[in-house]
Chain A
């Protein structure tokens, strides 16, 4: 478990740094994949096996494909547009300061959570418990989530769909 944790955290941090500093967007995407896989390992080390599987399917699967698709589409033009990190112009310093301040504020935070020294035993990340909770106590939230997904689908369709003014007389040549 500790091994999983070490490996996972290494991958996660390396991936995250990759996203932040990479020059080419594709390298950023690879960093993200590394980060996602690292997190899946971390979930395993915390015995949240089901979540680890979901993490790989949803993130490393679906979300990454979306990102790769867009990056590929955008860089497929004649010459790759300059999508590297921009000259920092002082903003980098400020952002770094914010991040470091945040980190120094949060790191000791982890140390002082009292009364939670021991993890509890038993079925933590199993599918059965998950499903039961999801469809009983969290039923309403589950339905709200379904609504969120539907809204996202409608939003995507309306954004990239065909504009309405070409509708008349163009039934056969729709699509795109």
Chain B
């Protein structure tokens, strides 16, 4: 018996990443210059990006239908690689300062990316589960890396317990769906649903379990309690990586499972997603107002943003999916950029309170203005990328006759403005305790510059990117 579809060319991006990860662990043994590891990692990410080219425009199911190569997978892989590259850049200085074991740190980052790849590019529940666990297990270790800092280890154990419990819930859902439809492959599940399995209460229960399991992964409202602790306690570059990359991977899995596998139950799950979306964004924004620590603020802001993205699933149209993808792309860049500034401030000796940003406009005008632009984008003020991201979600909701959802979104954007402006006011209007300029390492400047350019470009010329995203969403 031979394996059908042993296609190495189309699997090359994943293979390159795995090889890079192993190489980093080995390289760490031979060099004292830990910077080399970052460059090697970046080279690996770039090579993996180039290896995506043969797969563009093709739709293929390879390795006995375990891996799906299509434009949606391609889109998400580009997002993941961008996030990973930026995370490597912003980690460089941080890892040196905190004396983290560099080789393993970067390798785990790369392996987590492989897990995200599997989540986004499979139509098989088994592989989606394995990808999920790959991301999760790598993140447990990454979150707990600051062993001297009690918060880090505790964040890690809380994240682990919640995450494995939800994995079990997700698995129970998989087992019920498998039992009623007889398959683990999403297209076959959809067929069984269309053939009449949809009316079974067992399947409905399975759907609910799948939904709850994945909602935990994207930190949607009743399932969010791990997120603020984890994002606050973990090393800051890892917060940025998880908040953007892992969350995007969770949404990729949600899209695959619900739009490809369970369209037959769409009536039920669109309602649930709409409710989750409203609760999530409102809860995130309202709680963020009272935060005094910048990472916690970003964590609640991330919960709110996840609420916006869920609108795309609640409408369950091609337009909604496209708006979701666009928002995830924009969100990745603006959030990693904001975290780059947070890392800069933390590296300069100040802490991670909002008050530590006092007078940043004098100490480092470039970074202060960069943070202003990211925040404006997160609020959704034109002409930044975030505005068009929200506009797309908004019009998708209107087009799907869910005007009330669009209205809630707008109200939430207004609620969210004060807490972002609080940080901006601290930076510009309050005097710094020490007025000396912040020394910015080249890696952070690069990361900020890249994310800044993308955030502005996606705001100035959104149409080209959006038309591509529409194509991607249409292929789902």
Contact = CB atoms under 8 A, between A and B. Distances in A.
CB–CB under 8 A between A and B in the complex? yes
Interface string B121-142: 0001011001101100110110
A111 B111 CA distance: 42
Given A112-B200, A147-B134, A136 B108 contact: no
A139 B64 contact: yes
A108 B201 CA distance: 9
The B interface, classified by DSSP as helix, strand, loop or mixed, is helix
Tell me the interface secondary structure of chain A in the complex. helix
B18 A147 contact: yes
B66 interface: yes
A163 interface: yes
A70 interface: no
B16 to A, nearest CB: 14
Interface string A122-150: 00000000001000111111001101101
Interface size class of B (residues with CB under 8 A): 35 or more
A109 B66 contact: no
B63 interface: yes
B99 A144 contact: no
B114 A147 contact: yes
B147 A141 contact: no
Given A158-B105, A163-B147, A140 B66 contact: yes
Contacts of B107: 154
Interface string A105-125: 110110011101000000000
A158 B104 contact: yes
Given A109-B201, A109-B205, A113-B202, A157 B66 contact: no
Contact of B64 (A113, A138, A163): A138
B3 A139 contact: yes
A109 B176 contact: yes
A176 B145 CA distance: 18
Nearest to B124: A141
A145 B134 CA distance: 8
A145 B130 contact: yes
B180 A164 contact: no
Contact of A155 (B66, B138, B201, B202): B138
Contacts of B100: 164
Given A139-B64, A158-B101, A151 B111 contact: yes
A151 B127 contact: no
Contacts of B114: 147
Interface in B1-46: 1-3, 6, 18, 25
Contacts of A137: 3, 64, 66
**Chain A contact patch, size range:** 20 to 34
B2 A136 contact: yes
B105 A144 contact: no
Interface in A68-107: 105-106
A159 interface: yes
Nearest to B200: A112
B144 interface: yes
B108 A154 contact: yes
B99 A141 contact: no
Given A147-B134, A154-B141, A164-B99, A141 B108 contact: no
B314 interface: no
B138 A165 contact: no
B101 A165 contact: no
A44 B308 CA distance: 49
Interface in B34-67: 63-64, 66-67
B201 A144 contact: no
B137 A151 contact: yes
Given A140-B127, A154-B25, A147 B64 contact: no
A61 interface: no
Interface of B: 1-3, 6, 18, 25, 63-64, 66-67, 99-101, 104-105, 107-108, 111, 114, 118, 124, 126-127, 130-131, 133-134, 137-138, 140-141, 144-145, 147, 176, 179-180, 200-202, 205
Interface of A: 105-106, 108-109, 112-114, 116, 132, 136-141, 144-145, 147-148, 150-152, 154-159, 161, 163-165
